Amino acid sequence: MGMKAPKLDELDLKIISHLQENGRIPIAELAKRLNQPENTVRYRIERLLKNGVIRRFTALVDPRALGLNVSAAVMFKVDPKKLDQMLEKLISMKDVTNIYQLSGEWDLIAVVFSKDIQGLHTRIEELRRMEGVKEMNVMITTRVIKSEYRFVLT
């Protein structure tokens, strides 16, 4: 069962919107833009963090700038008895950046990054041998059209 969404008011949404645009904006500047006291904005941000609305502050890095030039979406059909064990392994893999559980024909999709095609091949073979994998489909990325982590708030 999913996490219950906390109640967010207009100020929360405005704070989130600004932070999605620039997570490094000083609280004083944010408070000024929102015409709110600094303490109010600071408290709201702390509450959003505590409630898991904001998971963390981080830098968005272009994987290619780190030499991660190859990526693939890997779809899995999984033995239901091995799903939790498999998810734990996938979560622990640093080159697996996203994991989604699906409804429909496929159970999971994972996004994998690598420096080169040989590294990707090695990881795919490791994934194929994981206990619980019944079937796997690998789709290598040929072009990234959009990679966005901002959400529409209205």
Tokens matching residue 88: 């734990």
Looking at residue 1, its pLDDT comes to 44
Tokens matching residue 13: 């949404």
Q: What is the pLDDT of residues 49-70, one digit of tens each?
A: 999 999 999 888 889 899 999 9
* Nearest C-alpha neighbor of 9 from the set 102, 17, 30: 17
Contact between 25 and 19 under an 8 Å Cβ cutoff? The reply is: yes
Q: Which amino acid is at 126?
A: E
Residue 61 CB coordination number (10 Å): 9
- Rounded to an integer, what distance in angstroms lies between the CA atom of residue 37 and that of residue 27? 10
Looking at residue 2, its pLDDT comes to 53
Contacts of 102 (CB under 8 A, 6+ apart): 108, 109
Order of strands, edge to edge, in the sheet holding 96-101?
Answer: 96-101, 108-114, 70-78, 133-140
Q: Report all structural domains of the chain as residue ranges with CATH numbers, in order of start.
A: 10-50 (1.10.10.10), 63-140 (3.30.70.920)
Q: What mean pLDDT comes out for the span 17-43?
A: 96
* Nearest C-alpha neighbor of 57 from the set 30, 84, 39, 75: 30
- Reduced to 3 states, what is the DSSP secondary structure of residue 28? helix
Q: What is the pLDDT of residues 97-125, one digit of tens each?
A: 999 999 999 999 999 999 999 999 999 99
